[in-house]
Amino acid sequence: MTASRKSMGLHLGVLVVLAALFFILPPYHTGNMARIMVLAIYAMGYNFLFGYTGLLSLGHALFFAAGMYGFGMTVTQLGLPVPVAFAFGILAAAVVSLVIGLLALRTSGVAFMIVTLMFAQAGYLTILYFGEYTRGDEGFVIKQAQRTVAGIDLTSEAGRYGAAFILFAICFLLLARLVQSPFGRTLIAIRENEERTRMLGYDATRLKLQAIVVSGAVSGMGGATYALLFGYVGATFATVQYSIFPLLWVLLGGAGTTVGPLIGVLFMFYLIDISSSYTDAYMLIAGVVLVLLTMFAPQGLAGELRKRVMPWLP
């Protein structure tokens, strides 16, 4: 069996398992899995830039929040239909990522990381400054009546899980296809050796800008999906910690692997959920586990699988 067929089988298998879990798990865990799939969309967007292009960003909370506020404010304040508002949220994140990319790509390395962090912090402060419209730290709730599509109530257990699954599957399969396309292979070449890629005639700056826009749009889709399915929009999601989270998820799951973001979010979510049920010092336990994983599985969980068992893993 060829590597591409194995890859397609793996991705379809993951989706089959996720679909089956809805009928197997109790309501508490199906709710958790819906949230995990939404956050995994965000992590996949981050992984596309960091894992495949090699650009370390600390400003992705800005893109997540752009999608979230782009959707939430157009639904609540302009009364747009959900599909139109959802598309607007993704577009808002794509435009923001394009502008930030044009400016941030004037730098490289640590400077790029710092610049993206500064832009994200500026975005957070902007949300607070326009609190009259954004409600600042308090945020705002999207009413249940505004969270329906084609008569389907997305606040119900089945509606929420189904929507999270469909949107996750779309991103999962499209990004899996994209990273194996000539465009994705060129981004990997830039990650491995940018100078040699330039010598071969590729416009590395233009390709990196395209990667930033794709990454920002997918991350914004994660933010819009979160607002749609969980009905809350707040400035907390634009803070620095929400730029750190996707980095941790991707590192734990395996940077530069298509299944890594899902594994990372799933692992970290339940690590904190389970440890918090035993002790108030759950963050200490989580920190110790994360340090051990970093030491003994430096390529992440999926990265170690690719290294030891599945070399064809994209």
pLDDT tens, residue by residue, 14-55: 999 999 999 999 999 999 999 999 999 999 999 999 999 999
Q: Mean pLDDT across the chain, nearest whole number?
A: 91
Q: What pLDDT score does 1 carry?
A: 62
> pLDDT tens, 134-158?
988 888 999 888 888 888 888 889 9
pLDDT band at 213 (very low <50, low <70, confident <90, very high): very high
Domain boundaries, the chain: 3-240
- Of 48, 98, 313, the residue nearest 206 (C-alpha): 98
Q: Where are the beta strands (DSSP E) in 121-220?
A: 140-141, 148-149, 152-153
> pLDDT tens, 214-225?
999 999 999 999
Q: What pLDDT score does 293 carry?
A: 84
Give the containing element (helix H, strand E) for 232.
strand 232-233
Q: What pLDDT score does 32 carry?
A: 94
Q: Report the C-alpha gap between 42 and 250 in whole angstroms.
A: 10
Q: Report the C-alpha gap between 239 and 259 in whole angstroms.
A: 26
> pLDDT tens, 243-300?
999 999 999 999 989 999 999 999 999 988 888 888 888 788 888 888 888 888 888 8
Please check the confidence at residue 232 and state whether its pLDDT lies above 70: yes
**Positive or negative torsion for Cα 109, 49, 35, 252:** negative
Please check the confidence at residue 307 and state whether its pLDDT lies above 80: yes
Phi, psi (rounded to 5 degrees) for 221: -65, -40
pTM (2 d.p.): 0.95
> pLDDT tens, 82-122?
999 999 999 999 999 999 999 999 998 899 999 999 999 99
